[in-house]
A and B are shown apart, each in its own frame.
Chain A
């Protein structure tokens, strides 16, 4: 999957939840959304980008992926 496009999509999700004043709730919002709507290979690729330095990822997205990696990362193929 096109990592750059996935980062763009994930940043847009993060931008929506960033308006939530409670930071923890905002991160949970992003994580829950990605978990509920993203097919595993998309989430897997997102973490590839994250592990490669998270280039272009917004702060909210970076925090989310760090805090919720266990639930978001799909089981290895």
Chain B
């Protein structure tokens, strides 16, 4: 899957060619090689390489239909036959491994006759509508007919055939046209091998065999719409509707997906300035040619009619918006900032950087706050997701980032997934993980321990079953981790040599004494966690004795009152078992948004300058102070929740928010609304009038990832290029708007191109010294740290020693969350995400992904439902100490009784009306995952929801007529 040879030479934006080199079968990585001759050309390849792939290496292409290099060879189409000296017959080159000294002929009269005969059969049962077929210009069947020189079909077209069948257009993004199917099974194998969903099968035998997606159609099947089958299909059988409607592209630009933290590389296929298709990039090192329903298909939001194209201002949020020029909007925003600072003090204003924007844009916003606002009141959405990761990993290991690359999972023998739901939230990486969990002919699958209150899909999915599902009570992560570590230490499973060599022994001794205390035993904690002690002991042994054990975690770890403690508990567990510092192991936070790692790296936290350096360090302040020409404040600024409190208190009056919807995403909605209403100037920069913008005084239209150059940094610290494929719809990229605001504030910034911003970041940040656009273009992507010590980046961190020197064990005492169930609120509500929607849904709700998730629902256990007289589909009221909201109930046994679950993808659901102000002790990351609630049958909308409807209607009426349709509700 390395596919380095696939890279096209020259600039990354080339005239479109659909002839991406397909080696036919996957690359092999064995160190040993074999040499053979193909048509007289000697070629040397790794052991296990197919003759078909070796032929491509030798510059020969053997005709093929059922083979493609993303899938293991199948050998069914009989087109790739070759002759091998000394062997009888005509073996299929895809399934024949290379042997030393082999002499292969790829072309002869006999081979030509055989291949033509095969093609003749295929074409006798295929519609001859090539000119009007959507695959015209990009059809392998058509290509092969040409390659083999098919000139006639002697059988005629009148016999029994498959030419009259209904097209399945149920999926919003692609069609399945069985009349064009050659039953090569590439789609079936892609669904199995690449995606790991096993939704497709070949039904029937011989002439009757056909591809089936389930009993009815694609939409109602197990299909997750990842696009792997569409990608693999050599004909027009599985075809994007966008191509059918718009035709084949004429140019292609390599770029990076703007959805989750996996950061998949894509080829944006274009016609003029219109995207016609997004195709996962085979050379993308995060995704290796795979994709999910969001990145592959749900990009239509970028040109949705709701996009705002003109800046707007108003003096009160009850006033109508007035469309103005960029100059007027910027001048008004700057004058308000300065007026407010004059009246309330320098520290009365702040900014929020966007984890959806580029590194360069994020860097500029924090620079604007620190240099032009003159304070450190800057924060980012990581506050509400992975800030505990930053704190916990910096404290224990010395760097605020995950330790591995995604490829590392191929080398693992035991996976712990804690508080993460990769198949929904990080689907492309989940496919990779599932492949390792399934194992293959050479190795059994890796062990799997899932620690989650819900029975997530990974617990039991085709050919994957968790060895242990520790179904804990929400809020008891630390207790479970302590119990696991207790078993490791007291059963003699600790890697003492590793600890002695790599870790601080004083800290270790204290920690060891703590963790060995009887109160941390699985038996003692069973009552708290709800997890049987025997399961904890079994899981601890499995992880500790595996050759390579790897921990993957998500927001189910961080979004708790003990989020940072849990992260440190994970680091303790990895260190004591020697599982950090090589491929196959590590501590792997699955970051949420596309650039949340990057926004943290770029100094978005109020206490840290770029590169995670504290503002109290005089040397660091001097470095930035000199480069930026202004003194840097030495005290930490306000974090997002502190900004809200200070706004209500009256000491914080203006906020510049780039690409973040705090009114929907942050907990305790009424409190957030109160804070936003308390501001005298709220500047929102976004591509849509989001929930926050309804409280704004200045609206600056944002630019999508398709409209600017820049970089995103994914969960594996990989810096990927984002490339402009169309001009900004509102005229300015987000970085340009920030520069305009800085200039109006009397602090001009001088950049002609985002590459110059990256150059400045590299000059000022030791972990980025070696990063440049030139190098990114050359290497494709770079994992930081990238500097003199690691000129091409760092796939695995802490290899020789920890970044902080000696690894630090931290005592992680379990402290129960202040949020308790009671007679009034007997259930625990926990929140999460689903595959087809993304975060607050501002993007995905404006795509046809709503076909899968049109509304947020409340998942409730049948037992809890029955006690309350609730039927599946009933409207129910979810009430907490903070507020209430009405949702539809879905009965589900994925949670244990006593736990209910919902998502926050739709604003009117009001999930965060219910969540509390409790937060992680170290970082103030909100505790979204534990809220005590009661659920009662209730058909009416809640008071908040009625207010929400009224407010949304009123705000919509204040928008300029015809400027935009307004939020689709």
Give A contacts to B, CB under 8 Å.
Answer: 1-2, 5, 8-9, 12-13, 15-16, 18-21, 33, 35-42, 74, 77
Contacts and interface: CB of A to CB of B under 8 A. Distances in A.
Contacts of A36: 607, 614, 616, 636
B651 A41 contact: yes
Contact of B645 (A1, A18, A35): A1
29 contacts: A1-B646, A1-B649, A1-B651, A2-B648, A2-B649, A5-B917, A8-B818, A9-B921, A12-B921, A13-B921, A13-B922, A15-B815, A16-B565, A16-B813, A16-B921, A16-B922, A18-B813, A19-B811, A19-B812, A20-B510, A33-B922, A35-B616, A36-B614, A37-B607, A37-B639, A39-B637, A41-B347, A42-B642, A77-B345
Interface of B: 345, 347, 376-377, 510, 514, 561, 565, 606-607, 614, 616, 635-639, 642, 645-646, 648-649, 651, 811-813, 815, 818, 917, 919, 921-924
Contact of A21 (B345, B510, B561, B636): B510
A2 B818 CA distance: 18
Given A19-B811, A20-B811, A37 B561 contact: no
A9 B616 contact: no
Contacts of B638: 39, 42
A73 to B, nearest CB: 12
Nearest to B615: A36
A13 to B, nearest CB: 5
Contacts of A74: 635
B649 A39 contact: no
Given A5-B645, A19-B514, A21-B510, A39 B606 contact: yes
Given A2-B649, A36-B614, A12 B811 contact: no
A66 B702 CA distance: 49
Contacts of A12: 561, 815, 921
Nearest to A11: B921
Contacts of A15: 813, 815, 921
Contacts of A19: 514, 811-813
Among all A-B residue pairs, the 7 with the closest Cβ atoms:
A19-B813, A12-B921, A19-B811, A39-B638, A1-B649, A15-B815, A40-B635
Given A19-B813, A39-B635, A39-B642, 13 more contacts: A2-B648, A15-B815, A15-B921, A16-B813, A16-B921, A18-B813, A19-B811, A20-B510, A37-B607, A37-B922, A40-B347, A40-B635, A42-B638
Contacts of B815: 12, 15-16
Contacts of A20: 510, 811
Q: Among A16, A18, A20, A33, find the residue whose CB has the most chain B CB atoms closer than 10 A.
A: A16
A25 to B, nearest CB: 10
Contacts of B648: 2
A76 to B, nearest CB: 13
Contacts of A16: 565, 813, 815, 921-922
B344 to A, nearest CB: 12
B565 to A, nearest CB: 6
Contacts of A37: 607, 636, 639, 922-923
A13 B815 CA distance: 11
A9 B565 contact: no
A35 B345 CA distance: 21
A41 B350 CA distance: 14
Contacts of A8: 818
Nearest to B817: A12
A1 B919 CA distance: 17
A39 B811 contact: no
A20 B514 CA distance: 9
Contacts of A41: 347, 646, 651
A35 B636 CA distance: 8
Nearest to B614: A36
A39 B645 contact: no
B808 to A, nearest CB: 13
A39 B636 contact: yes
Contacts of A2: 645, 648-649
Nearest to B812: A19
B47 to A, nearest CB: 54
A33 B616 CA distance: 13
Q: Among A1, A21, A39, A42, find the residue whose CB has the most chain B CB atoms closer than 10 A.
A: A39
A33 B639 CA distance: 14
Nearest to B637: A39
A9 B636 contact: no
Contacts of B345: 77
Nearest to B650: A1
B441 to A, nearest CB: 49
Contacts of B921: 9, 12-13, 15-16
Nearest to A10: B921
B635 to A, nearest CB: 5
B636 A38 contact: yes
A21 B811 CA distance: 10
B482 to A, nearest CB: 11
Contacts of A35: 616
A72 to B, nearest CB: 11
Contacts of B919: 9
Q: Among A5, A12, A35, A74, find the residue whose CB has the most chain B CB atoms closer than 10 A.
A: A12
